[in-house]
Amino acid sequence: MNWNEKNILITGANGFVGSYLAKELLEKGSDVYGFIRPEDMVAMEKNLIDKGIKDKLKMLEGDLGDISSLASALDQSQPDVIFHLAAQSSVEFSFKRPLDTQDINTIGTANLLEAVRIKDVDAKIVFAGSSEVYGMVISSEEQYQRALDSGKTIFPEPEKIPELPISESNPLRPMSPYAVSKVSGDFLMQNYHHSYGLDTVVSRAFNHEGAGRGMMFVTSIITNQIMKLKHQETDRITIGNLNACRDWSHVTDIIQGYQVLASKGRGGEVYNQGSMRTNSVLSYILLGLERAGWDINRIETLKGDEQTKTINNPTEIDDDPIFGVKFDKTRVDQMILENQLEYTIQDKGIRVTTDQGPLTIEFNPDRFRPSEIPLLLCDNQKIQKIGARIEYSLSDVIQDQLDYFNQKENRV
Ligand SMILES: C[C@H]1O[C@H](OP(=O)(O)OP(=O)(O)OC[C@H]2O[C@@H](n3cnc4c(=O)[nH]c(N)nc43)[C@H](O)[C@@H]2O)[C@@H](O)[C@@H](O)C1=O
């Protein structure tokens, strides 16, 4: 698509992803309108200031809960493309505020679609869905049995094990109020295509990170603390569940994918967006420490008894295929993925032996979730076929966040 002089409406243009996308489209010559909640105008303007687009973006005040403000935004922007990114995007927060999450994400998405339908706006609509919709993905017979033994329902039943990498036809087993809200948005988009002919496309993006990522997400929590350690502003890293494995991309790759979907995504279809890698939260910490200058020799659990888990050279990398996919993973990733290693709250934390002495990673029980997706690994072949690419390695993603928090004014 030639973006020059196109009218683009981005809901949540002042958010982490929205501001990256807005900047890029402004550079390509689009007229970019941002649909922004009045209360977020000041609270989130740092994203726009950091990217130098505060005065270039055309701000439209409104609320997804107020359909008349959406209708008015459509009148003013006359969009060729709508990127619907605005959302309550924290899984953790959604457990505390499930109704607000449904209001903003489910009802808000329904309001946008209704406004487009009633106003008969002829725009391509790209929706920020989420890999969270896949939820409980079965990675091994052992994990399946453990889930059953712990009383979890697994519906639909797996047709094959492992269900990895995750393609668009994987079963949806959402595990949080946030995930349910994204299933709703995803199906609303599909339904407005089938029922009313709207040109909707769903992106199911896996985790995407980078400089400016919100402080409630784990990669910012980690890299902020690493830089505080580096600058002697703290003496430990505090964290929740670090067994979780996520498919982490750089936000820049994902916003390229959004543009590919706007140009070439088929109406009514869903497309995964991810890197086809999966790495643990623990690896994110250890690789981050290494990039920040520590050489890591060994890790062991803080609880020092006969159950102490000791792993030498935990960041040693291999790229042997796992689940039929070849990607870089650390020794601890390998062990977690093969069910040979799991940290529990009882372990209390991890002592990291480095060339510069010991470091402490402490578990905070309050950061563990009521239910947790153990593993996400994207099959991105469908979107790659229409031209999307992953350019950034995991190390690039981590480095970008470390550079951001190396600046004192960004540390929290
Ligand atoms: C694709 C999906 O991606 C994101 O959802 P998320 O995966 O929940 O992201 P997160 O960074 O909050 O957690 C990642 C993992 O990290 C674990 N974890 C450990 N310790 C802490 C901790 O202290 N804080 C947090 N937040 N997580 C922690 C946590 O338990 C989880 O396993 C959103 O963009 C969402 O909008 C979206 O669509």
The domains of the chain are located at 5-134+171-204, 142-163+212-248+276-375+393-411
Closest ligand 1 atom to Cα of 238 = 23
Question: From the CA of 217, how far away is ligand 1's center (Å)?
Answer: 5
Cβ(224) to ligand 1 under 6 A?
Answer: no
Q: Output the residue whose Cα is nearest ligand 1's atom 25.
A: 218
Q: What is the mean pLDDT of the chain?
A: 97
The one-letter amino acid code at 242 reads L
| 3-state SS class at 74 | helix
Q: Which CATH architecture has domain 142-163+212-248+276-375+393-411?
A: Alpha-Beta Complex (3.90)
Q: Output the residue whose Cα is nearest ligand 1's atom 17.
A: 241
Q: Would you call 113 exposed, middle or buried from its count of C-beta atoms within 10 A (0-12, 13-18, 19+)?
A: buried
Question: From the CA of 241, how far away is ligand 1's center (Å)?
Answer: 10
Cβ(369) to ligand 1 under 6 A?
Answer: yes
Mean pLDDT of 27-48: 93
Cβ(12) to ligand 1 under 6 A?
Answer: no
Question: From the CA of 91, how far away is ligand 1's center (Å)?
Answer: 7
Ranges assigned E (strand) in 4-64: 7-11, 31-36, 58-61
Cβ(250) to ligand 1 under 6 A?
Answer: no
Cβ(220) to ligand 1 under 6 A?
Answer: no
**In this model, does residue 324 exceed pLDDT 90?**
yes
- How far is residue 315's CA from residue 395's CA, in Å, rounded to a whole number? 12
Over residues 244-256, the pLDDT tens digits come to 999 999 999 999 9
CB-CB contact of 301 with 349 (8 Å) = yes
* pLDDT at residue 303 in the model: 87
* pLDDT at residue 307 in the model: 75
Mean pLDDT of 123-139: 98
Over residues 96-118, the pLDDT tens digits come to 999 999 999 999 999 999 999 99
Cβ(275) to ligand 1 under 6 A?
Answer: no
- The DSSP 8-state label assigned to residue 86 in this structure reads -
CB-CB contact of 294 with 356 (8 Å) = yes
Closest ligand 1 atom to Cα of 218 = 11
For domain 5-134+171-204, say whether CATH 1.10.10.10 is its number.
no
Mean pLDDT of 159-174: 98
Closest ligand 1 atom to Cα of 217 = 11
* pLDDT at residue 373 in the model: 94
Spatial CB neighbours of 112, under 8 Å, sequence gap ≥ 6:
11, 64, 70, 82, 84, 125
Cβ(89) to ligand 1 under 6 A?
Answer: yes
Q: Output the residue whose Cα is nearest ligand 1's atom 10.
A: 217
Q: Output the residue whose Cα is nearest ligand 1's atom 31.
A: 244
* pLDDT at residue 381 in the model: 98
- The DSSP 8-state label assigned to residue 137 in this structure reads -
Mutate to test the pocket of ligand 1, among 133, 203, 207 (most ligand atoms within 8 A of CB): 207
Closest ligand 1 atom to Cα of 241 = 19
Mean pLDDT of 303-307: 75
Cβ(241) to ligand 1 under 6 A?
Answer: yes
Mean pLDDT of 12-19: 97
Quick one: tokens of 323?
Answer: 């689940």
Cβ(69) to ligand 1 under 6 A?
Answer: no
CB-CB contact of 32 with 106 (8 Å) = no
**In this model, does residue 202 exceed pLDDT 80?**
yes
* pLDDT at residue 396 in the model: 98
Fold match flag (5-134+171-204 vs 142-163+212-248+276-375+393-411): no
Q: Output the residue whose Cα is nearest ligand 1's atom 3.
A: 207
pLDDT interval class at 411 (50, 70, 90): very high
